[in-house]
Amino acid sequence: MVETDRASLLPPVRSSLNPELAEGLAVYVGAEVAEAELLLDSEDDRYGSTSGVEEGSREPEMSLTRLHIIIASMCLGSFLAALDNTIVSTLLSHIASEFNELSHISWIATAYLLSSATFQPLYGKVSDIFGRRPLIIISNLFFILGCLICGFSSNLWSLVAGRFIAGIGGGGVTSLGSITASDIVPLRSRALYQGIFNFFYGLGIAIGGLIGGWFSEGENGWRMAFLAQVPLCAVSLVLIVVFLKLPPGCKGLGMISNDKGGKVRIGSKLKKIDWLGSLTLVTFLFTFMLASSLGGEEIPYGSALFKLLVVGTILFGGAFLYTELYISDDPILPVRFLTNRSILGASFANWFCMMSTVTLAFYVPVYWSSVLNLKPTEMGSRIAPNFFSTAFGSIGAGYYMKRTGHYYSFLLKFTGLMVIGQLQVLLMKPDISNWRQYILLPLPQFGGAVLITVTLLAMIAAVPHEHQAATTSISYAFRSTGSTLGVSVGAALFRNKLSVSLYDSVMKFESEEYSKKYLLTIIHQASESSEYVHAKAPKFIQATLVQCYEQACKLTFTFCFIAAIFAWLSCGVIKEYKLHASMERK
């Protein structure tokens, strides 16, 4: 945290350490946690932990109509950014056919994910310098430009470039909406608004594929799936320009005046940016996301490129940590906040939760298809309740926090529900009843939605209000890396287990009747497509192939279950702070 904040509120805890001992991670973290707790348990009015301050009832400094228009415009932006994540899922085959680029088609989905996750953590601190409104406008313009490039692209790589540009904007639209809400809504009411944000984001994720499929079958083809988002984003942008006016003195206005009362020039603002920290963070996230999302498929694990990406991730990750801890005066992403037990616990809870729930959402349909032989429409009907449980979890958690002002015990109970839901999936058998198939995903996803909503508010409550943007950026950074790494690890476990199981099980049938070459062909086809198992595989081997797929899915579900347990344990580290009902946190 900022040194001037520390000096007047707590003794110099870190300076009393022996420098040699301080090099040990346990000693360093222990001292930092002690320091953060002294700071956050103080009676300073800026902190969510202030227990001695009476709760006020002052309304936000704007009319409810203006507030609701601003929130609605940012929810629309968040919805579109989420929609663009999944809208390509049903467009890929059509795009591949038009451009004749099937082997590189995964880049369309990866480009958006890559740029969104890489640049998203920068928006919090940069918006503290330049202001929320200019950054939201720029983010929307990037998103609109990216969608236009996609809609008018003449080849695959121009489409990929458009997706990358749209991702830069989408990451900003999502995170800045959440950050700006904390500038204009008291923390206690903020919980409900966060639930609403999560609802619209979840809605975008849920119907993206459906919308993409509808456009791809329409008269104007897949291009309209991108172009149709432009006017909607433009509406959100106009509403932001017209209605978003932050109150005087708000941190979200950015750097307005200097110490002498003069206006801060652009050059001074640019100098304030932590350029070295930004560069190392972006490079670290870029190499990490590239290795995680494309490793094993586009980039083989044994290739020199993959090894280079892993080494780059480690080196730039270390450089980023060193820069933020020892070089930067005003870090782009203050990693020292992670010495606060609430921020550390909430960050890892987000990380493990996204690992667990996103990976589960990918591989439960694989189980349904390969083991239960369900058709796409049947799987769709079983996935549909998942959206309602996620929406109810997000808004319900927000309403509970707004009504009670508490969250710790509520968080532990419903994160426990996520663990139970993951266990239910892990124990699933091929003879599972139809009605149980409909509650497989809603249970863990409901718990996950509660966790995502509550932990963000827990993080914001644990720091002074002026640091909420950077704290929100930390939350989004852990979410994006957790989901990407989770899917990557889940895919690696699934592929490796399936490969080993298929070879060991199928080759047992080698005989004069079934040659080795014939069996290897079966293995290859079964590993390439789950549809082959039930539709085209020889009858004598079908049951064996189904068993192999079940074993591979169960290993991935075990990973999801373990990640869910770690998410629950991480929640236990969080400390409950007061959720104030006024902007002054009183």
Q: Where among 194, 228, 246 does a domain terminate?
A: 246
The reply to whether 260 falls in a domain is: no
Is the CB of residue 79 less than 8 Å from the CB of residue 200? yes
- For residue 255, being part of any structural domain is answered with no
Residues 527 and 430 in one domain: yes
Q: Output the pLDDT for position 32.
A: 37
Which ranges of the chain have pLDDT less than 70? 1-61, 102-103, 219, 257-262, 580-586
CB-facing half-sphere around the CA of 362: CA atoms within 13 A? 21
User: Of 229, 246, 263, which residue sits at a domain end?
Assistant: 246
Number of domains within the chain: 4
Residue 160: the pLDDT is 92
Phi-psi map region of 60: left, alpha, beta (phi>0 left; psi -120 to 50 alpha):
beta
Q: Is the pTM of this model over 0.85?
A: no
* 386/515 same-domain check: yes
One domain for residues 33 and 74: no
Same domain? For 83 and 206 the reply is: yes
Q: Where are the alpha helices (DSSP H) in 427-515?
A: 434-437, 442-461, 468-506
Range of the domain at 159: 62-246
> So what's the pLDDT on residue 105?
76
Q: Would you tell me how many other CB atoms lie within 10 Å of the CB of residue 229?
A: 25
Q: How many CB atoms lie within 10 A of CB 401?
A: 27
Q: Kindly calculate the radius of gyration of the chain based on its CA atoms and give it in whole angstroms.
A: 25
Nearest alpha-carbon partner for 466 in 104, 144, 1: 1
The verdict on 124 and 203 lying in the same domain is: yes
3-class SS letters over 120-187: CCHHHHHHHHHCHHHHHHHHHHHHHHHHHHHHCCCCHHHHHHHHHHHHHHHHHHHHHHHHHHHHHCCH
* Same domain for 225 and 90: yes
Look at residue 264 and give its three-state secondary structure.
coil
Residues 311 and 206 in one domain: no
pLDDT of residue 79: 92
